[in-house]
């Protein structure tokens, strides 16, 4: 069959660019890779899995008074569409984020990816609907929008996160075209790919803007516990007095990615034509029942056991990982400084940002850093990185690269930066 | 927010009818329920899960020569989009269905539900595209189509499955309207809800029609191993000489439903505008990467271990379940015969079909069997069933009920039929 007979998204750069980058990476297995956005895997142990399963079974018996037969049914049968670890997730959000969340407003999803698809599909009533997203944007969000058929308009990002003046202008422009901006997607803490965070005043201003413009905020929060130093700022959700925020959560970085367990907190009230009220979570659950029925009960049981074992305190559960990411972020920043800082004869030709946490640093090079340059970098110098232009829906980021450091050692980081310096010397 | 601002599918009967039926069932927990379409759960054991995980880990080390670190990565990290048990599924299809399947053409999905969503989304290029489905239809398929934005037209079903003359007429009518029929959805063995199967000549005729009309066949096969007696007929896929069939598979009934592991076999060749060829499976995988990234690795590991332990022979692995379903199907058919057969004074007023396997029997009553009747039946007589009209996209099945017998004992079946007989006496 001709590709042109298939849904447009299969040929969309948002869905194909990561495949292309993986292809390049796959051809250079011995290169130092700043490309992979995977969590650190040094602490994984197969023995954890049966222990987590048992811990969750014990939790169901103890806290929910389930009989052994009911526990078996929870593990093996079709399950509750909104999930079976919603109470544990609510407890985690209370302990780690200071959020008061009704467990009924939680939908456990097949990774945060499914949560984004469900929210975008639900908000796509007709072709007038669109969402806005800080640019550069997480490719998973753009891809989810493509699959859901939801148009996305990019909004410039500054050093304080999404640019509010641009956002207001974009919303106004869309309305002037007869379109309907429904929501704004943001990662307020250590955004992927930029590493940028929003200061608290910017968060408050964004919430005010959302209220004034009557749009939802889709807050995605996978990285906030991986902070270099200082206090964790409040989430948008915790500053939100009037239900503007749909909160997207993930256990991919805190527990493990393979489980594919994420969630969405959606306590907005939906009013039917007959006046009956429901939670937005329940409407999302209707869609979920036709996408995946329910999130794998075994996967939920594993994540549930992880939560139970850690008293639902994910920040303390991820102390070791957080230390690795801190160590590596420091190594990247120090390594960049020693190679391209004031002691470098060409000081200023290479610039970078200084995120206070997360997994990513953005470096601006004195030459275009496109896919061809990546291939050259890998082949000639043995170092991989991600061209930032993939995270811009139009042109943008052409001389920028994302350095991801989550799975490396400091030694690998310094070796990789030495190689990057050679690339810079070669192409400068 | 007003419901009318959300995607139309959240208010669609295909998505809401099952919720409504579950609500009614939930109010009558002590009723005998012929409503639940769940697999039998008497053989589930929590201890199976860690054993399956170990068996799959050993398989990865032994058959794929993975190091312990690589095994851990397979279990815990983001994984291959098309899945990690594709080789085991291909082996199962060879052993149990006589199918030769390239493992690369398998996409492991979050239950068969996600497979349907991916296929329907991929085939929905523009508003002219539509699919056809035998009616009464599996609600999960109709729901997947709603979420994917793919229109479905129903085609009458006879005692030999989908009516080929109606199908040809419908395809012709759609084309005359400028529309583009892309695929036909069928469950050739023991369809849900009708229990109807297609004889081999009807399968061959359907394949011929598909070739002549240039449409794909979406073959869904969750029940074929649960056969009352006789030889299992060949799948459409095994009779398919020219790649017309996209094969949808599930482990919900053969292993267990909670895992949410299904798959699609899609070895059709897709040709890009540049002439590059890919498998349809690879295009589906692009969409999957933006819906769920990859099927939960833990869930795949559990199903993978189940397959490894059983030498990938699912028919022999499900011998005990098959015996239960056979016993129960016989009980339902004998129970109907003894209550509404020739010895009944009103013989002929209640009719039923006689499926040769599966989990469902359809009974035609001498009065409308709508949701209000169901509520009355549960409240007054303590018996639940599923009104067939929910499986018709328009009007249809108004006096029919689906009896599902998978989770009952013969004693419960006879008690439930006694109660059904009282309902008939009351309303006849």
Confidence (pLDDT) at B106: 98
Looking up tokens 């379109």, which residue turns up? A179
Q: Which residue, among B335, B325, B338, has the nearest Cα to B404 in the 3D structure?
A: B325
pLDDT digits (tens, 9 = 90+) for B49-79: 999 999 999 999 999 999 999 999 999 999 9
Confidence (pLDDT) at B26: 85
pTM: predicted TM-score of the whole model, two decimal places: 0.97
Q: State ipTM.
A: 0.96
Q: What is the CA radius of gyration of chain B?
A: 22
Separation between Cα atoms, residue B145 and residue B185, nearest integer Å: 11
- Measured between CA atoms, how close is B302 to chain A, in angstroms? 8
Residue B140 near chain A (CB below 8 Å): yes
Separation between Cα atoms, residue A154 and residue A137, nearest integer Å: 8
Q: Which of residues 30-49 of B touch A (CB under 8 A)?
A: 38-39, 41, 44-46, 49
User: Domain of A134?
Assistant: 79-316
Task: Tell me: do B271 and B332 sit in the same domain.
Answer: no
Residue B291 near chain A (CB below 8 Å): yes
**Selected residue of B25, B271, B298, B406 to mutate for chain A interface (largest A Cβ count, 10 A):** B298
Task: Tell me: do A195 and A109 sit in the same domain.
Answer: yes
Task: Tell me: do B242 and B368 sit in the same domain.
Answer: no
Task: Tell me: do A32 and A168 sit in the same domain.
Answer: no
Question: Which residues in chain B are contacts of A73 at CB distance < 8 A?
Answer: 41, 44
What residues does B52 pair with on adjacent strands? none
What burial letters (b/e) apply to B265-290, b meaning 16+ CB within 10 Å?
Answer: bbbbebeeeeeeebbbbbbbbbbbbb
Separation between Cα atoms, residue B5 and residue A124, nearest integer Å: 8
Tell which of B286, B314, B342 closes a domain: B314
Contact A77/B280, CB-based, under 8 Å?
no
Question: Which residues in chain A are contacts of B261 at CB distance < 8 A?
Answer: 296
- What tokens appear for A262 in the block? 């994420």
- Which residues in chain A come in under a pLDDT of 70? 394
Cβ atoms of B192 and B359 within 8 Å: the answer is yes
Tell which of B249, B279, B314 closes a domain: B314
The tally of CA atoms less than 13 A away on the side-chain side of residue B426 is 12
With a CB cutoff of 8 Å and minimum separation 6, the contacts of A392 are A135, A136, A137, A154
State the pairing for strand pair A269-271/A277-279: antiparallel
3-class SS string, chain B: CEHHHCCHHHHCHHHHHHHHHHHHHHHCCCCEECCCCCCCCCCCCCCHHHHHHHHHHHHHHHHCCCCHHHHHHHHHCCCCCCCCCHHHHHHHHHHHHCCCCCHHHEEEECHHHHHHHHHHHHHCCCCCEEEEEEECCCHHHHHHHHHHCCCEEEEEEECCEECHHHHHHHHHHHHHCCCEEEEEEECCCCCCCCCCCCCHHHHHHHHHHHHHHCCEEEEECCCCCCECCCCCCCCHHHHCCCCCEEEEEECCCCCCHHHCCEEEECCCEEECCCCCEEEHHHHHHHHHHHHCCCCCHHHHHHHHHHHHHCCCCHHHHCHHHHHHHHHHHHHHHHHHHHHHCCCCCCCCCCEECCCCECCEEEEECCCCCCHHHHHHHHHHHCEECEEHHHHCCCCCCCCEEEEECCCCCHHHHHHHHHHHHHHHHHHC
Residue A156 near chain B (CB below 8 Å): no
Separation between Cα atoms, residue B9 and residue B16, nearest integer Å: 9
Task: Tell me: do B308 and B331 sit in the same domain.
Answer: no
Tell which of B296, B314, B332 closes a domain: B314
pLDDT digits (tens, 9 = 90+) for A338-351: 999 999 999 999 99
What residues does B279 pair with on adjacent strands? B269
Does A410 fall in a domain?
yes
The number of folded domains in chain A is 2
Separation between Cα atoms, residue B296 and residue A74, nearest integer Å: 17
Task: Tell me: do B231 and B354 sit in the same domain.
Answer: no
Cβ atoms of A403 and A363 within 8 Å: the answer is yes
- In angstroms, how far is the first alpha carbon of chain A from the final one? 46
- Measured between CA atoms, how close is B84 to chain A, in angstroms? 11
- Report the CATH number at residue B329: 3.90.1150.10
Question: Which residues in chain A are contacts of B18 at CB distance < 8 A?
Answer: 289
Separation between Cα atoms, residue A323 and residue A318, nearest integer Å: 9
Task: Tell me: do A402 and A323 sit in the same domain.
Answer: yes
- What tokens appear for A140 in the block? 């998973």
Does A177 fall in a domain?
yes
- Report the CATH number at residue B297: 3.40.640.10
Task: Tell me: do A406 and A359 sit in the same domain.
Answer: yes
Q: Which of A1, A296, A302 sits opposite B268 (nearest CB)?
A: A1
Does A124 fall in a domain?
yes
- Which residues in chain B come in under a pLDDT of 70? 394
């Amino acid at each position: 069959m001709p590709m042109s007979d298939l849904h447009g998204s299969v040929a969309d750069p948002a869905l194909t660019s990561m495949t292309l980058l993986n292809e390049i990476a796959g051809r250079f297995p011995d290169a130092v890779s700043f490309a992979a956005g995977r969590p650190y895997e040094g602490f994984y142990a197969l023995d954890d899995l049966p222990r987590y399963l048992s811990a969750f079974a014990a939790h169901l018996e103890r806290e929910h008074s389930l009989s052994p037969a009911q526990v078996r049914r929870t593990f093996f049968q079709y399950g509750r569409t909104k999930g079976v670890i919603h109470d544990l997730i609510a407890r985690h959000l209370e302990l780690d984020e200071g959020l008061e969340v009704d467990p009924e407003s939680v939908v456990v999803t097949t990774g945060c990816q499914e949560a984004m698809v469900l929210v975008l599909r639900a908000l796509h009533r007709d072709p007038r609907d669109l969402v806005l997203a800080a640019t550069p944007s997480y490719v998973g969000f753009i891809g989810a929008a493509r699959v859901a058929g939801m148009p996305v308009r990019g909004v410039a990002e500054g050093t304080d996160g999404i640019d509010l003046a641009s956002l207001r202008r974009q919303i106004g422009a869309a309305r002037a075209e007869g379109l309907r901006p429904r929501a704004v997607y943001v990662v307020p803490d250590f955004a992927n790919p930029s590493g940028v965070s929003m200061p608290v005043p910017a968060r408050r201003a964004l919430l005010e803007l959302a209220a004034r413009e009557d749009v939802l905020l889709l807050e995605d929060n996978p990285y906030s516990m991986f902070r270099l130093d200082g206090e964790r700022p409040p989430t948008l959700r915790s500053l939100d007095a009037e239900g503007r925020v749909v909160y997207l959560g993930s256990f991919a970085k805190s527990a493990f990615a393979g489980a594919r367990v994420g969630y969405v907190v959606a306590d907005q009230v939906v009013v039917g034509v007959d006046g009956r009220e429901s939670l937005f979570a329940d409407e999302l659950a209707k869609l979920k029942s036709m996408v995946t029925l329910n999130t794998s009960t075994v996967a939920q049981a594993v994540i549930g056991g992880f939560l139970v074992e850690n008293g639902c305190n994910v920040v303390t559960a991820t102390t070791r990982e957080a230390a690795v990411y801190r160590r590596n972020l420091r190594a990247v920043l120090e390594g960049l400084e020693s190679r391209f800082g004031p002691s470098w004869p060409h000081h200023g030709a290479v610039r970078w940002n200084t995120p206070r946490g997360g997994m990513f640093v953005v470096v601006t090079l004195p030459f275009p850093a496109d896919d061809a340059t990546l291939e050259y970098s890998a082949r000639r110098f043995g170092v991989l990185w991600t061209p930032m232009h993939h995270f811009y829906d139009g042109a943008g980021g052409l001389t920028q690269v994302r350095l991801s450091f989550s799975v490396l050692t400091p030694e690998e980081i310094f070796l990789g930066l030495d190689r990057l310096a050679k690339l810079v010397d070669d192409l400068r």
